[in-house]
Structure 1
Amino acid sequence: MRLVIAKCSVDYVGRLRAHLPLATRLLLVKADGSVLVHSDGGSYKPLNWMSPPATLRVTDPSEADAADGVSEVWVVQAGKSDDKLVINIHEAIHDTSHELGTDPGLIKDGVEADLQRLLAEQIHRLGEGYTLIRREYATAIGPVDILARDADGRTVAVELKRRGDIDGVEQLTRYLDLLNRDPLLAPVRGVFAAQQIKPQARVLATDRGIDCLTLDYDAMRGVDDIESRLF
């Protein structure tokens, strides 16, 4: 992990265009090739970024840019498209690198772990004819919660959350992109399952062809008295 605090301007060039004027920002360069641009606000979300696979190339500025105070130019090129992130560094205030090692991954809380176990045991909740391949299916970017096959024998990747938001949909999208490169699994479709799914997450999932499934935790545990329900 490389951390650079610099006075810089940033341009995203490609299918979309975006510009960040000159300001002091934090630049994160990760081992997976991603580059993220952060400000001192906005919670955990970067102002702009390039997702992996990507390559970072550092070049000298043009004469015109040098005259404007640019000392070096970072060009972050996407691996799968013509999109690129161009970062004009005016002043590097801090530059350090750290070896973080292999991350053990996210340890799910009790409810998420129970949801995964219960859905694996009750795989029929995904639909008639579904069969379980395995839980915690390992990939290069992390484990898929549940990998299953539908009634037609097609592979299905399931991402489980207590509360489903846009980040969960993005996570499942990355898994699907990777799994669909495996000819033994492809085509792989996705199911985003949670106790509650935010409307924005449902819209994004639907737009990407991902099915949404709302899970009733109490019913899955067998503690829900269906006969006592009013509706």
Structure 2
Amino acid sequence: MRLVIATCSVDYAGRLTAHLPLATRLIMVKADGSVLVHSDGGSYKPLNWMSPPCTLTVAEPDDAARDEGVTAVWTVQNSKSDDRLVVRLHEVLHNSSHDLGVDPGLVKDGVEAHLQVLLAEQIETFGAGWRLVRREYPTPIGPVDLLCRDDQGVAVAVEVKRRGEIDGVEQLTRYLELLNRDPLLAPVRGIFAAQEIKPQARTLAVDRGITCLTVDYDALRGVDDPSARLF
């Protein structure tokens, strides 16, 4: 991972347009190719980013940009669309690279792990005629929670969360990118399943063609009896 702290401006162009004026920010370049721009606030969420597959190129500024104090121009181009992120660096305060090694992945809490088991055992939750291929289906960046086949035989990757947030959608997006490279599986569609799905995560999932499914943990466990409800 490369970490750069610099005064910079950032422009995003493609499906949407966004501009970040000149300020001091942290730029993260990850081993998977993703580039994220962070401020010193706003919790974990970057101000702007480009997800893989993408390519980072570094160029010298033109004369006009150099006169404005620009020392380098980073262009991050998405490999599958016209989306691009342009970072104009002024003063670089820190620049370092670190090998983080192989990450073992997120260790799920008890409820999330049990939810995955219950959905695997009750695969008909997703629809009649579905079948489970495998739990924890391996990919080069970690296992997909559930790999299934729907009633038409189409492969479906399911990411299971207790609370569905944006990073879970990003995680599933990366899995789908890799799985769809396998001619024995493609096309593979995705389902983001959680007890609760945040509105921002749902919006991002829909934009990426991922189906969202809210699941009832108690009903899957057989604790909740819908017939006994007053409402």
SS for the counterpart of 2:116 is: helix
Partner of 1:12: 12
In structure 2, what is the equivalent of residue 220 of structure 1?
220
RMSD across aligned C-alpha pairs, in angstroms? 1.9
Q: TM-score, normalised by structure 1?
A: 0.90
Q: What's the counterpart of residue 145 of structure 2?
A: 145
Cα 1:211/1:11, change in 2 over 3 Å: closer
Consecutive unaligned residues in structure 2, runs of 5 or more:
none
Alignment deviations for residues 12-53 of structure 1 (CA, whole Å, 9 cap, x no partner): 233332221111111111111111111111111111111112
Instruction: Output the CA distance in 2 between the equivalents of 1:25 and 1:126.
Output: 43
Mapped to 1, the partners of 2:23 and 2:197 lie a distance apart of 36
Equivalent residue letter for 2:185: L
Query: Secondary structure of 1:114's partner?
Result: helix
Which position in structure 1 is the counterpart of 2:117?
117
Output the amino acid matched with 2:150.
D
Alignment CA distance shift 1:2-1:226 (3 Å) = same
- In 1, the alpha carbon distance for the partners of 2:184 and 2:207 equals 26
Deviations 1:37-79 (A, max 9, x none): 1111111111111111222222221112111111222222222
What does residue 229 of structure 1 align with?
A: 229
Could you tell me how far apart the structure 2 residues matched to 1:174 and 1:98 are? 22
After the TM superposition, which residues 24-173 of structure 1 pair with which residues of structure 2 at under 5 Å, given as runs?
Answer: 24-173=24-173
Distance 1:61 1:214, change over 3 A: closer
**Residue identity matched to 1:25:** R
Rounded Cα–Cα distance in structure 1 between residues aligned with 2:10 and 2:68:
14
What do residues 109-133 of structure 1 show as CA deviations (whole Å, max 9, x unaligned)?
A: 0000000111111112211111110
Distance 1:171 1:21 in 2: 29
Tell me the percent identity: 74
1:125-179 deviations in whole A, cap 9, x for unaligned? 2111111100111112322110011222111111111122343333323322332
Corresponding letter in the other structure for 2:102: T
Taking a change above 3 Å as real, the CA distance of residues 22 and 187 of structure 1, as seen in their structure-2 partners, is: same
Shift in alpha-carbon separation, 1:15–1:214, aligned structure 2, 3 A: closer
Partner amino acid, structure 2, of 1:138: P
Secondary structure class of the residue paired with 1:8:
strand
- Which SS does the other structure have where 1:162 is aligned? strand
The CA deviation string for residues 63-113 of structure 1, in whole angstroms up to 9 with x for no partner, is 121111112222222222233222111111111111100111111100000
One-letter code of the match for 2:197? I
Q: Which runs of 4+ in 1 moved over 4 A?
A: none
The range that moved more, 95-104 or 121-130, is 121-130
Q: Determine helix, strand or coil for the equivalent of 1:176.
A: helix
TM-superposed CA distance for 1:222, in Å, is 2.6
CA separation in 2, counterparts of 1:24 and 1:204?
28
Q: Number of residue pairs matched?
A: 231
| Residue type at the aligned position of 2:18 | A
Q: Which residue of 1 aligns with 2:195?
A: 195
